[in-house]
Amino acid sequence: MEVPWVSISRFPWEVPQMPSWPFYALIPNETELTMLKTILAVLMVGCLACTALAEVRKPDRKILFVCTGNYYRSRFAESYFNWKAAKSALPWRAVSRGLLPVPGRKGISPLVQQELAIMGVPDSRTVSDPQQLTRQDLQTSDYVVILDEEEHRPMMERQFPDMALNSVHYWHINDIPQMQAHEACSVMATKIDDLMTRLRK
């Protein structure tokens, strides 16, 4: 018995003639089969694209720590913040700058290395050499921490007199000898922990 060919491209109002025997097959012709393959391919590409977009991670937001020389306080803050952010999957990253870096100075303070080692923080979480704070640094940061208001507010006002520094937050971390390294780093670590709790909300 010849198997009836029933096109799957019929309009809804065109009801095909049912055969007298109890079953029938929907067998697409060659053109319809090609169309089906094309539709399936488009759907697969669309699904893959949606999956890829869903997996694209939003860029991390940036917090900027600023001290005088970008050698001691801000470098500790940068290292500690990035270490804790990586451990807790917080989508923020820290950078640090100085208002008046010493020309030719390299690396970070040995005091910072010592305090980071005590806390188990790798000093690789910070850049290699001190860097000067720029207008672009301030404009491209989502949150700015100036580490010693008494010392640094006048410097900020002199260097950036025309900028509305609404995202700037002043802390009170004194330099040596007013505050020794162990105390200063402990205070910064506590304040950074509290700040990260707020940033998660």
Same domain, residue pair 45 and 82: no
pLDDT of 122 reads 82
Residue type, 160: F
The CATH number covering residue 104 comes to 3.40.50.2300
Q: What pTM was estimated for this model as a whole?
A: 0.71
Scan for tokens 């900027």, then name that residue.
Answer: 64
- Strand order through the sheet with 61-67: 92-98, 61-67, 143-146, 168-170
Residue 94 corresponds to which tokens in the numbers above?
């820290």
- Kindly state whether residues 101 and 156 are assigned to the same domain: yes
Q: Which domain holds residue 25?
A: 1-56
Q: With contact defined as beta carbons under 8 Å apart, do 152 and 68 qualify?
A: yes
- Does residue 86 share a domain with residue 177? yes
Same domain for 166 and 193? yes
Domain count, the chain: 2
Name which of 60, 127, 122, 61 is nearest 97 in CA terms. 127
Specify whether 95 is located in the same domain as 49. no
pLDDT at 48: 57
Same domain, 38 and 69: no
- Contact indicator for 102, 130 with CB cutoff of 8 Å: yes
pLDDT at 195 over 80: yes
* Statement to judge: residues 100 and 145 lie in one domain: yes
Same domain, residue pair 46 and 72: no
Q: From 41, 56, 71, give the residue that closes a domain.
A: 56
pLDDT in tens, 140-174: 999 999 999 999 999 999 999 988 776 799 999 99
